[in-house]
Amino acid sequence: MTEMTAPRATTTVPVKLGDRSYDILIGSGLIERAGHEIARRANSVRVAIVSDETVAGLHLDRLTQSLDAAGIDSTPILVAPGEKSKGFATLETVTNAILAARLERGDIVVAFGGGVVGDLAGFAAGIARRGMGFIQMPTSLLAQVDSSVGGKTGINTGHGKNLVGVFYQPLLVLADTDVLDTLSPREFRAGYAEVAKYGLIDRPDFFAWLEKNWRGIFAGGPERTEAIAISCQSKADVVARDERETGDRALLNLGHTFGHALETATNYDSTRLVHGEGVSIGMVLAHQFSAKMNLASPDDARRVETHLRGVGLPVSIADIPGDLPPAEQLMDYIAQDKKVARGALTFILTRGIGQSFIAKDVPPSAVLSFLLEKHPK
């Protein structure tokens, strides 16, 4: 359960992993409190702040001032914004910058940005000096409810998304809800897809609540913090049961196998498709495919499509601008996805809203037939 901490009305969600447990703090003003929160948990540390140029321009000064006030020396390491930074070249640049700053194993890498920065900086922290301290400060809705929680880090390759990386848990997550007001509407919508995902996995009441309250979330009302906290609690519960994705944690990939294939097909071009948009399309496809396989009612797929379209998200392959590879090529990308085990296709399918399950040995012929049906001609 979440706990309210007066007087700052910060919501704390614990991630329970034994001696590697940590807290997710959610609320207003956490950038200004970052130095205090870090100093409470780690004495006499130095910090590398990995951020992208856009986030740094908006928020970095406030973070460095907070760290300075707490007596914490910091070194900024800036990367270009966007998915293209999640590759070997930028990983090398960031890791070399950490070493050049002479940070030691007991020092801390702070990931200050969206999901790209979190995945990249977390991977760098996990391998620099064979493992340094790591703190997530997510600045996008998608990162606050999903990628900053649970310890998955990594980079993309030409073979697919997130195929190289490590499981590496942070020491702390600081999710400042104020920064979400600086996101573009498109970025915020993309993050909302991951919020909706938690309702579709196993919380049908939450999905129904989102259908009624999504406007308050977008407007920045109290519904926003509530939705973030419920999403983080949902993920924390799953991670506590299955940290390294050997079982239930795979449910968090609802929509991602289709979505990752579409991201690869667009060469991670954010002008065409960003991650949350791929997840949105992927979740609709997962529900439609489940209906095609007679596992769920077509009405559920239509309900998911209606809600996601209503908030302004893409819901079909045809919604992606520009040309796409043929369905057969999309199948090749799916076969490279890390949800594949020994060549057998594993999908997260559903028996209805909030009734997702892990489907192993899905026939590739059925998936290809479905993609041929859904691919724009």
Q: Are 284 and 301 in contact (CB under 8 A)?
A: yes
Give CA–CA dist 109/74, Å, rounded.
10
The domain boundary residue, chosen from 128, 152, 183:
183
Give CA–CA dist 9/46, Å, rounded.
29
What size, in residues, is the chain? 377
Give CA–CA dist 14/55, Å, rounded.
26
> Which regions of 139-177 does DSSP assign to beta strands (E)?
155-157, 160-164, 172-176
CATH value at residue 236: 1.20.1090.10
Residue 117 gets which letter from DSSP?
H
Q: CB neighbours of 237 closer than 8 A, spacing ≥ 6?
A: none
Q: What is the pLDDT of residue 43?
A: 82
User: Which of 228, 223, 231, 244 has the alpha carbon at shortest distance from 197?
Assistant: 231
Q: What is the mean pLDDT of each run of 10 residues along the chain (377 residues)?
A: 50 95 96 96 93 98 98 98 96 98 97 97 98 97 96 93 95 97 97 98 98 97 96 95 90 95 94 97 98 98 98 98 96 78 82 96 92 92
SS3 state of residue 6: coil
Q: What is the pLDDT of residue 190?
A: 97
Residue 96, domain extent: 3-183
Whether 96 and 151 share a structural domain: yes
The domain boundary residue, chosen from 128, 163, 183:
183
Whether 163 and 235 share a structural domain: no
Q: What is the pLDDT of residue 3?
A: 42
The domain boundary residue, chosen from 128, 156, 183:
183
Give CA–CA dist 84/324, Å, rounded.
19
The C-alpha angle 24, 279, 142, rounded to 5 degrees, equals 25
